[in-house]
Structure 1
Amino acid sequence: MAHADLTAPETIPEPLQGAVAFVVRWIPLLVLAAGWELVSGWMVPEAVLPGPIAVFAETADLVASGEVFADLFLSVFRVAVGLGASILIGVALGIGMARSEPVENVFDVFLSLLYPIPKTALVPLAILWLGVGTSTAVLIVFLACLLPIVLNSYNAASDVDRNLIWSAQMMGTDGRRLLWKVVFPATIPEIMTGVRQAIPIAFIALVSAELIASNAGIGHLILAAGQIGNYTQMFAAIVVVSATAYAAVRGFEVLESRVMVWA
């Protein structure tokens, strides 16, 4: 006699399916927190590796006091400017390279040389050019996010259905109108994928830049707390930036789902 699979979604009452999915999604994080709590104070001194309870309590204090918001808002602003610039330039460059051989010939070597360079290696040079502060952080975020967006835009524009383009041309659509009316709408799904991939990269690049080249921002807060030995606050700041990046990705996914309905 066959037995029903109790783990299959259809065997779970519908009102409980959402709760079960939520628990399953967060089980890895709970396991990580439990392991962290065991390691803290046992294998590693608690002064160096505070436990998750202490860290989350400090995170709540930072948020409740508002102490973290000035740095967080500055960091989010830097991410928004750097990522926004990379979207505007990356999409135009990717589509231009896909649709124009001269454009591809000009920029292909440059992008190929830029791609393997760790963007944090450019921070000292950016400091020489722009000084310490927002401009350097924005530049590093821009450079880090540019390649994923260019590559996704390029691949999407290269794969546009030729029949779609020919049909539009036969109806008198050409030049800029062809790019705007046909090619660009067809590339939107891949562009959105590139932007979604770039969001966490933007936060990684931001914190790396702020650790070296900023006197404010969440990365600077992490560095300052570590330098004075306040490791609980250091980890709390890391939790804040991680939660912010997660919220940014999830928020973009909601926006993406609405845009994809239109596309």
Structure 2
Amino acid sequence: MAQTNITTHNRIPRQFQRAAQSIINWIPIAIVIGFWELASGTVVANDVLPSPIIVAFEVNDLIISGDIYSHLFISIYRFAIGIGLSISIGVLLGISMARSKPIENFFDVFLSILYPIPKVALVPLAMLWLGVGTGPAILVVFLACLLPIILNSYNAAENVDQNLIWSAKMMGTDGWELLQKVVIPATIPNILTGIRQAIPIAFIALVSAELIASYEGIGYLILEAGQVGNYQVMFANIVIISVVAYLFVTGFEMLREKVIVWV
């Protein structure tokens, strides 16, 4: 019976399998939107919680008018710089800690102290150091993404198959060449997983920083609309940044699948 089910599954065209999986993936979103529609005007006044249809029209208006693009570009720029810095430093530091005990001992206490601190709590301090604008947002994104990338890089480098390392050393590979040809390729899948985990964290940190320490960006638009009671615009901006974050995550997952196959 199990063999029959496997055979039947294999006979289904791949396109239909993907379409069915896509539908299943969107069911939770549909449920949330349904509850949102029911709550608007009943549980919560519709001027405070606009219906999804009203928000969808507002999203359309923002896109057509083009008013949001400059702010969206600024937010994406801050996201890219912040997560790019965290990847560059986090991967290097994580692998170095795994391969060198003195480096691990040096940074271990610092990371243990930094890890439980809510990164949004650092925004006022970042404002004192860097003023209001792009600097604090990049710093908060960088700090928020740094730890998951370091931890995944560290665990990946620490758990590299020792047989691979011993075999490489027996063939005369050592030092930087060993790191380049054996350790780094073996850690790529887990490093990519850490980056995948960091992307949504980066957007959370970005919007949080822009809510407090910026006069530009999607977070600022959300705060500005909320302060004047324009809740449909506020929700529209929330939807837009959520969709952008989803596109970044989905695009990175597609890239990761190709890279892992290549590795």
**TM range, smaller chain:** over 0.9
Over residues 174-203 of structure 1, what are the superposed CA-to-partner deviations in whole Å (9 max), with x where a residue is unaligned? 111111111111100000000000000000
**Structure 2 CA distance for partners of 1:160 and 1:63, relative to 1, 3 Å:** same
C-alpha distance in 2 between matches for 1:236 and 1:255: 29
Q: Which position in structure 2 is the counterpart of 1:214?
A: 214
The one-letter amino acid paired with 2:184 is F
Q: Which position in structure 1 is the counterpart of 2:63?
A: 63
C-alpha distance in 2 between matches for 1:23 and 1:55: 23
C-alpha distance in 1 between matches for 2:169 and 2:142: 35
TM-score by length of 2: 0.94
Gaps of 5+ in 1: none
**Structure 2 CA distance for partners of 1:135 and 1:177, relative to 1, 3 Å:** same
Query: Displacement, 1:12?
Result: 9.5
The one-letter amino acid paired with 2:167 is S
TM-score by length of 1: 0.94
Q: Which position in structure 1 is the counterpart of 2:123?
A: 123
Q: Which position in structure 2 is the counterpart of 1:178?
A: 178
Q: What pairs up with 1:71-86 in 2 under 5 angstroms?
A: 71-86=71-86
Q: What pairs up with 1:1-263 in 2 under 5 angstroms?
A: 10=9, 14=13, 16-263=16-263
SS of equivalent to 1:41:
coil
Query: Displacement, 1:23?
Result: 2.4
C-alpha distance in 2 between matches for 1:123 and 1:155: 29
C-alpha distance in 1 between matches for 2:17 and 2:82: 40
Q: How many positions carry a matched residue from both structures? A: 259
Give the RMSD, CA atoms, in angstroms. 1.9
Over residues 49-82 of structure 1, what are the superposed CA-to-partner deviations in whole Å (9 max), with x where a residue is unaligned? 0010000110111111111111111101101000
- Judge conservation of contact 1:9–1:17 (CA < 8 Å) in 2: no
Query: Displacement, 1:22?
Result: 2.7
C-alpha distance in 1 between matches for 2:10 and 2:106: 58
SS of equivalent to 2:205:
helix
**Structure 2 CA distance for partners of 1:12 and 1:67, relative to 1, 3 Å:** farther
The one-letter amino acid paired with 2:108 is D
C-alpha distance in 2 between matches for 1:121 and 1:49: 28
The one-letter amino acid paired with 1:154 is Y
C-alpha distance in 2 between matches for 1:21 and 1:162: 38
Which range is displaced more, 213-222 or 163-172? Answer: 163-172
Query: Displacement, 1:21?
Result: 2.8
- Judge conservation of contact 1:97–1:103 (CA < 8 Å) in 2: yes
**Structure 2 CA distance for partners of 1:17 and 1:259, relative to 1, 3 Å:** closer
SS of equivalent to 1:34:
helix
SS of equivalent to 2:136:
helix
C-alpha distance in 1 between matches for 2:100 and 2:114: 21
**Structure 2 CA distance for partners of 1:157 and 1:236, relative to 1, 3 Å:** same
C-alpha distance in 2 between matches for 1:32 and 1:61: 23
C-alpha distance in 2 between matches for 1:112 and 1:36: 40
Over residues 205-240 of structure 1, what are the superposed CA-to-partner deviations in whole Å (9 max), with x where a residue is unaligned? 000000000110000010001011100000000000
